[in-house]
Amino acid sequence: MLASFIIVFREVLEAGLIVGIVLAATVGISRRAPYLWGGVFAGVAGACLVAACIGALSSAFAGNGQDLFNAAILCFAVIMLGWHSVWMARHGREMARQMQDMGASVTSGETTLLAMAAVIAVAILREGSEVVLFLYGIATAAHLTAFAIIAGSALGVAAGAAVSWGLYRGLLAIPLRRLFGVTGWLIALLAAGMAGQAAALLANDDIIPAFGYQLWDTSWLLSTGSLLGRAMQALVGYSDRPMGVQLAAYTATLATLVCLSKWAGRPRILSKQES
Amino acid sequence: MTHDLRRKMIAVAAFACLASSAAAAPPSVQLTLQDHKFTPDHVQVPAGARFKILVTNLDTTPDEFESPDLRVEKIVVPGQTITVFAGPLAPGTYAFYDDYHPETAHGVAEAK
């Protein structure tokens, strides 16, 4: 039971941290619930689909199918997060002000909600397919301990979701005028981490050059094998043994998102909106 | 006659090229998962070089070959063989496991 709890909890936590940030970053956008729930359901359905096709996916592209697929959906999520950053830079301040005045969600933003729903779907799909395959294995093996394992898995989902909800509520404790500044940085770090992971996946299969397979080793300090290490990997893209190309993709993405936000949120546009 | 000899020389040169490129291909180790255990569960890999690990799953349920130390993570469905690349590694021992059955399926790669 404990083993299955740990496996499921870890995967749900990794996806849940991303979902928690997305929830906090979309606070104040009206009618967000159907979009975000849609993202959750699309992610779960996608996870089942990927799990069902994993054999074919693995052998596709000369055996690099899994890595190519993961890199592709990570890149897609990075673009969606970038989209949201630009949107937020344009609307964040006005949104925070309206929320302070009226205490309600007033700003509409269908396109950015779609983008954020896609990010949720990708996060759940990626980690969820591993959970689905794990549970499928138990279901087909059907040994005596199956009940304990399923109970452990259910607890794992609940605990992972609870941490995700806790992160969301914790972020909401940040004063409104600062909240979107904080979530902006979290989104940028999230995107940078995803870009870095995508680059590492491709470099590991020798599809792109690695520019150094191991720049440094901080596994003695925080190993990505540990729960905290994996959480940090999901949140800010921490890697204990980064590749050169991974660091380059990380830095470039972070710089791009920060510059995009600055550019999109420059005062000229704000004053035009206010007039 | 000389024409024939030249042809032979070209063939020998081509063979030498093939042989050297085969030598340059990364070395590989084969692991098999059966009854949720690795065979072998202790492998030697070259230190300071890229190498391949092939993992075959002979069980009836999916496995996930994983090692944060080797920086690999890949699902293996029943009956399938997957390939992952790792290294270059500093000399030492590196743990790997099947994430779905970590209690029984684990092993060590020793880089020398």
In a domain, B37, yes or no: yes
Nearest chain A CA: its distance from B50 CA (Å): 9
The count of other CB atoms within 10 Å of the CB of residue A61 is 14
Is pLDDT of B17 > 60?
A: no
In a domain, B91, yes or no: yes
Token pair 């929320």 is found at A99
pLDDT score, position A149: 81
pLDDT in tens, B37-85: 999 999 999 999 999 999 999 999 999 999 999 999 999 999 999 999 9
Whether B60 sits inside 8 A of A214 (CB atoms) is no
pLDDT along chain A (275 residues), means of 10: 86 95 91 94 97 92 92 97 92 80 73 94 95 87 72 93 95 90 95 97 94 94 93 95 97 96 73 46
User: How far separated are the first and last CA of chain A, in Å rounded?
Assistant: 61
In a domain, B82, yes or no: yes
In a domain, B48, yes or no: yes
In a domain, B10, yes or no: no
pLDDT score, position A106: 66
pLDDT score, position B24: 58
Amino acid occupying residue A125: L
Per-residue CA distances from A120 to A78, A180, A201 (Å): 12, 18, 21
H-state helical runs in chain A: 2-25, 33-59, 65-102, 110-141, 146-172, 176-204, 227-236, 244-264, 267-274
* Domain containing residue B65: 26-111
In a domain, B81, yes or no: yes
Tell whether A131 lies on the interface with B, counting CB pairs under 8 A. no
Is pLDDT of B13 > 80?
A: no
Please report residues of B whose CB lies closer than 8 A to that of A59.
Answer: 80
Whether A241 sits inside 8 A of B71 (CB atoms) is yes
Residues B100, B74 contacting (CB under 8 angstroms): no
In a domain, B21, yes or no: no
A6 burial class (0-12, 13-18, 19+ CB within 10 angstroms)?
A: middle
Nearest chain B CA: its distance from A66 CA (Å): 7
- Where b means 16+ CB within 10 Å and e means fewer, B14-27 reads eeeeeeeeeeeeee
pLDDT score, position A97: 79
Token pair 């059955």 is found at B101
ipTM: 0.85
In a domain, B19, yes or no: no
- CATH code of the domain covering residue B49: 2.60.40.420
Q: Model pTM?
A: 0.88
Pick among B28, B71, B97, B108 to test the A interface (most A CBs inside 10 A): B71
Nearest CA in chain B to A233: B68
Whether A225 sits inside 8 A of B69 (CB atoms) is yes
Please report residues of B whose CB lies closer than 8 A to that of A138.
Answer: 61
Q: Give how many domains chain B has, as a whole number.
A: 1
Top-confidence residue, B31 or B9:
B31
Best CA proximity match to A9, nearest among A197, A152, A122: A152
- The beta-carbon neighbor of A136 closest among B50, B62, B80 is B62
pLDDT score, position B18: 47
